[in-house]
């Protein structure tokens, strides 16, 4: 089978970390041709290292996110190539570490299904932070497209209306979500490795499987990658278990992940929570009463992080209490109280609702805030 792949790379500082080279090394035997496309810039050292993996590196302005990068290669760089000689096209990016488990299991599993397009995982029905509905779709960080699609007349029609997004949400809607809907409506068959290997593994609405169950899918289903977004404070529990398992049970060099996290921390790219900044806040206020505003995913993960690092907090804080847990109090009980420091452990939607209220009762130095774009 002849395979061509397009790999999209982006870093605001033009840096390609060691985990990228390990990822490309793990995949090099599966692709007959690889094109690397750089959104934005790439420093000289990274460029020289990437050159050994392919004969074509495309550098372009950082526009349109991954879809913009793929579109530029498909319809500009490679527009006159003979696409009929390829059996499969792979589109993937630099948002994950791998191979945690080797790729053979993935490729042999998916080849037997004879699908028109597939990915490693599928997002169930859900919603964006603003409440807008998200339909179930194949996630696009690693996407395989068969000749039946890219030689079809509908292929260029799809790309006419994607690759121009200016916001992350629009990029998800116009490429990742739309890809599944567009080609499924035209009768093409799709699937995911995770669903193929574990059809009884239940994922609830709005649960991102590669985030919510990162540890379980790597341990139980030989899932080949760990998404970078798992290695952060709001996913602390899954991160801790996944990294421990990878180090103890696989050949993947955990140092590559540690190196990438250190790089992102030093360049203030760990958002919305920077662990170094949080520890400074805790150390500065170690004699004060610390409260955690948030009893959801972020709150519980940060609470576990605090415990693991020898810090304590008074209570979880919520706007309206609907649990019998005596560790939880309502915000009205401490609003404006002296000697109180607050960590806002909230997702973006909840944060935007809560912050204006809390900011009216406490000074800026009393609060530790996640970083979201306004």
pTM of the predicted protein model: 0.94
pLDDT at residue 201, rounded to an integer: 87
Q: Where in the chain is the domain with CATH 3.40.50.20?
A: 275-368
1.10.10.10, 1.10.8.60, 3.40.50.880, 3.40.50.20: CATH of 275-368: 3.40.50.20
State how far the Cα of 48 lies from the Cα of 192, in Å rounded to an integer. Answer: 34
CATH 3.90.550 segments of the chain: 3-203
pLDDT at position 374, please?
53
Over residues 217-231, the pLDDT tens digits come to: 999 999 999 999 999
Residues of the chain with pLDDT under 70: 374
Q: Does the domain made of 3-203 have the CATH classification 3.90.550?
A: yes
Residue 169 structure tokens: 């949400």
Tell me: the pLDDT tens digits for 248-265? 999 999 999 999 999 999
Burial of residue 123 (CB within 10 Å: 0-12, 13-18, 19+) is buried
Distance of CA 228 to the CA centre of its chain: 6
CA distances from 93 to 20, 171, 242, 298 (A): 10, 14, 21, 26
CA 264 centroid distance within chain = 14
Give dist(CA 357, CA 374) in Å, integer.
16
Helix (H) or strand (E) holding 158: helix 154-160
Tell me which H or E stretch contains 155: helix 154-160
Beta strand segments in 147-260, E: 190-192, 225-227
Question: How many Å apart are CA 148 and CA 151, to the nearest integer?
Answer: 6
What is the pLDDT at residue 130? 83
Per-residue pLDDT at 104: 98
Provide the pLDDT for residue 226: 98
């Amino acid at each position: 089978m002849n395979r061509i792949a397009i790999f999209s790379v982006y870093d605001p500082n033009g840096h390609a970390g060691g985990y990228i080279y390990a990822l490309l090394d793990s995949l090099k035997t599966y692709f007959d041709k690889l094109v690397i496309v750089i959104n934005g810039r790439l420093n000289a050292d990274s460029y020289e290292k990437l050159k050994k993996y392919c004969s074509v590196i495309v550098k372009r302005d950082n526009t349109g996110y991954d879809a913009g990068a793929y579109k530029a290669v498909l319809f500009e760089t490679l527009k006159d190539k003979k696409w009929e000689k390829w059996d499969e096209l792979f589109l993937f990016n630099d948002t994950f570490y791998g191979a945690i488990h080797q790729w053979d299991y993935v490729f042999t599993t998916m080849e037997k299904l004879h699908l028109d397009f597939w990915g490693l995982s599928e997002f169930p029905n859900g919603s964006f932070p603003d409440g807008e509905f998200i339909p179930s779709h194949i996630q696009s960080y690693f996407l395989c497209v068969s000749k039946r699609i890219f030689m079809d007349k509908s292929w260029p029609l799809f790309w006419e209306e994607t690759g121009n997004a200016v916001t992350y949400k629009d990029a998800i809607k116009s490429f990742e979500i739309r890809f599944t809907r567009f080609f499924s409506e035209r009768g093409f068959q799709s699937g995911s490795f995770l669903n193929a290997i574990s059809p009884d593994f239940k994922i609830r609405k709005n649960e991102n499987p590669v985030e919510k169950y990162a540890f379980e899918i790597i341990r139980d289903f030989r899932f080949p990658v760990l998404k970078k977004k798992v290695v952060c404070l709001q996913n602390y529990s899954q991160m801790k278990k996944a990294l421990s398992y990878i180090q103890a049970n696989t050949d993947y060099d955990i140092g590559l992940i540690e190196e990438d996290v250190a790089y992102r921390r030093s360049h203030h790219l760990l958002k919305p929570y920077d662990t170094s900044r949080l520890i400074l806040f805790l150390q500065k206020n170690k004699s004060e009463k610390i409260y955690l505003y948030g009893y959801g995913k972020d709150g519980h993960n940060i609470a576990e992080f605090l415990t693991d690092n020898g810090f304590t907090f008074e209570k979880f804080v919520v706007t309206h209490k609907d649990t019998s847990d005596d560790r939880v109090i309502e915000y009205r009980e401490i609003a404006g109280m002296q000697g109180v420091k607050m960590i806002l452990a909230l997702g973006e939607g909840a944060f935007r609702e809560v912050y204006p209220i809390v900011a009216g009762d406490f000074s800026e130095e009393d609060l530790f805030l996640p970083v979201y774009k306004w």
